[in-house]
Amino acid sequence: MRAHEAGALHGDIGSRGPAWLRPPADVNALVPQLWPGNTARGADGALTVAGLDVRDIAAEFGTPLYVLDEDDLRARCRAFRDAFSADDVYYAGKAFLCRAVVRMIAEEGLFLDVCSGGELAVALAAGMPPERIGFHGNNKSVAELSRALEAGVGRIIVDSFTELDRLTALARERGVRPGVLIRVTVGVEAHTHEFIATAHEDQKFGFSLAGGSALAAALRVLDEGVLELRGLHSHIGSQIFDTSGFEVSARRVLTLQAQIRDARGVQLPELDLGGGFGIAYTSQDDPAVPQDLADRLRKIVEFECAAERLAVPRLSVEPGRAIVGPAVFTLYEVGTVKDVDGIRTYVSVDGGMSDNIRTALYDASYSATLASRASAAGPLLARVVGKHCESGDIVVKDEFLPADVQPGDLVAVPGTGAYCRSMASNYNHVPRPGVVAVRNGRARLIVRPETEEDLLALDVG
């Protein structure tokens, strides 16, 4: 599970790269866990996806471009669906949302989480059955809540007393009884290979467990009887590899569930453990398969329920990254290659922090490969950077590329399906890339690339 010390990932030691990074035996080899399932190298060495050559994709749609392996995405949905067959799997739409993806996840039997009016609009426009939508967010407006009630959204995850009042008033006004979960801040924070358990949490999401407001919120909903309290919700972080954080959070949230039972004699039927399941961004990451995750989470919940003498509630989980992240790679064209005084080679591509902010924002690590051809040249430690006016505009901090990488080559960066297009910006007035879905040798645009006309269309001054 844990192939390295997390700290080593960040150890930047110049031209040698981080300690874990070793020159590969074959610089053209694709590390299987990094790439969508239908990616390979074709007969002449260029990258192919679902039978299509990336050079043809780039020629037709341009670069930079997000390339989605549709069958890979669908397979990941099914893997979660099958692993959590007794439970509900909500795809966290904030990872990446467009109408085509909504239809794909719906067809594969998933539910959908949204966390803004805009995401709800996309879900409804794509025909997602409203009863299969969950609505998140720490500051849902009256307009957003009204829209959710009008649409008949399946459940609303309530985050504050202000929202509770707002939603209760709206539900009374309309004479409806929406299903709600209480978002509980359990004092567990999990990121990558570590988690921290604390007694209290200084963060904006949810009702505090330790401070008693989570219990107070649940009792208020039950006593008022306007909203239907379905259960409790906790989400402990992102890019999590170690399930012990879920163990602590499940224990804490089920203790609260037992307190609610003791106070009001009510057994809440549902429990949502959130998302955050990790994916592989580099050869160092080795994520658990959904079946193992499901087995572990179920065991944890069954154990804690037995301890509290609770019936096992219906579980739900909310994977975003683990569904869409590995199904997509970004295709870039190399513009310049610069050797900086023998310290490091900078390979500049035609996108950057506007299409992938995660490296700058989270110090995230990515991988890359030369995609338009195979090369017989030896490995060169490179840093893949973008075209923005910012020295922190790094896409891939350290990667071995063939030493003959040159302008005009295509470079592909895997694992960019989650939180890249959805967090994309127009910094430097660079148009945001489109998204192409590839399946059975055919590519179709599902999000059109922006144009300069799009940018100017908003500029009405």
Per CB under 6 A, the list member of 274, 351, 386, 434 interacting with ligand PLP is 274
Residues in the chain: 461
The answer to whether 177 is annotated as binding is: no
CB of 215 to ligand PLP, least distance (A): 20
Burial class (CB in 10 A: 0-12, 13-18, 19+), 407: exposed
d(CA 59, CA 351): 16
Please say which residue, 207 or 400, places its beta carbon nearer to ligand PLP. 207
35, 80, 84, 277: which one contacts ligand PLP (CB under 6 A)? 277
Which residue's Cβ lies closest to ligand PLP? Answer: 320
Strand-pair partners of 410: 333
- Between CA 97 and CA 88 the distance in angstroms is 19
Q: How far, in Å, CA of 453 to CA of 155, rounded?
A: 39
Q: Do residues 112 and 144 lie in contact, with contact meaning Cβ atoms separated by under 8 Å?
A: no
Short-list 278, 266, 279, CA closest to 313: 266
Binding of ligand PLP at residue 328 (CB under 6 A)? no
Does the footprint of ligand PLP cover residue 94 (CB under 6 A)? yes
**Mind giving me the DSSP string for 21-60?**
----S-TT---GGGS-TTEEE-TTS-EEETTEEHHHHHHH
Between 94 and 387, CB nearer to ligand PLP: 94
357 binds ligand PLP (CB under 6 A): no
- Does residue 318 touch ligand PLP according to CB under 6 A? yes
Least distance (Å) from ligand PLP to the CB of residue 146? 22
Contact of 169 with 145, CB cutoff 8 Å: no
* CA–CA distance, 49 with 71 (Å, rounded to integer): 10
Helical residues (DSSP H) of 39-98, grouped into ranges: 54-61, 70-83
Binning the chain into helix, strand and coil, the percentages to the nearest 5 are 35, 25, 40
User: Closest approach of Cβ 383 to ligand PLP, in Å?
Assistant: 26
Would residue 77 show up in a list of annotated catalytic residues for this protein? no
Residue among 231, 245, 276, 414 that touches ligand PLP (CB under 6 A):
276
14 assigned binding-site residue: no
362 is in an annotated binding site: yes
Query: Is 318 flagged in the annotation as binding?
Result: yes
C-beta of residue 46 within 8 angstroms of C-beta of residue 371: yes
Per rule CB under 6 A, is residue 326 in the interface with ligand PLP? no
Cβ contacts of 431 within 8 Å, gap of 6 or more = 449, 450, 451, 452, 454, 455
In this complex, which beta carbon is closest to ligand PLP, that of residue 52 or of residue 148? 148
Is 238 a binding residue for ligand PLP by CB under 6 A? The answer is yes
Q: Is 253 in the site for ligand PLP (CB under 6 A)?
A: no
**What's the closest the beta carbon of residue 43 comes to ligand PLP, in angstroms?**
36
Backbone φ, ψ for residue 226 (5° rounding): -85, -40
Assess 235 for contact with ligand PLP (CB under 6 A). yes
Q: Which stretch binds ligand PLP (CB under 6 A): 63-71, 161-169, 272-280, 435-443?
A: 272-280
Question: Which CA distances in Å does 375 have to 169, 345, 379, 380?
Answer: 65, 17, 10, 12
Q: Return the residues of window 146-185 that contact ligand PLP according to CB under 6 A.
A: none
Identify any residues that bridge with 349 across adjacent strands, giving them in sequence order.
334
Is 358 annotated to bind a ligand? Reply is: yes
Pick the closer one to ligand PLP by CB: 17 or 93.
93
Indicate which residue of 115, 305, 389, 420 is catalytic.
389
Span of 89-97, 188-196, 243-251, 442-450 interacting with ligand PLP by CB under 6 A: 89-97
Q: Is 174 annotated as a binding residue?
A: no
Residue 184 or 385 with smaller CB distance to ligand PLP: 184
Pick out residues in 419-438 that bind ligand PLP (CB under 6 A).
Answer: none
Residue 208 Cβ, how far from ligand PLP at the closest point, in Å? 16
320 binds ligand PLP (CB under 6 A): yes
- Measure the CA–CA gap between 434 and 454, rounded to whole angstroms: 13
Query: CA–CA separation, 9 vs 365, rounded Å?
Result: 8
Instruction: Work out how close the CB of 114 gets to ligand PLP at its nearest, in angstroms, rounded to a whole number.
Output: 11
Amino acid sitting at position 10: H
Interface size with ligand PLP, residues (CB under 6 A): 16
Query: Chain-centre distance of CA 389, in angstroms?
Result: 27
DSSP 313-346: PEEEE--SHHHHGGGEEEEEEEEEEEEETTTEEE
Annotated binding-site ranges for substrate: 321, 358, 362, 390, 419
Instruction: Provide the annotated active-site residues.
Output: 389
Annotated binding-site ranges: 276, 318-321, 358, 362, 390, 419
Annotated binding-site ranges for pyridoxal 5'-phosphate: 276, 318-321, 419
The contact set with ligand PLP (CB under 6 A) reads: 92, 94-95, 136, 235, 238, 274-277, 318-322, 418
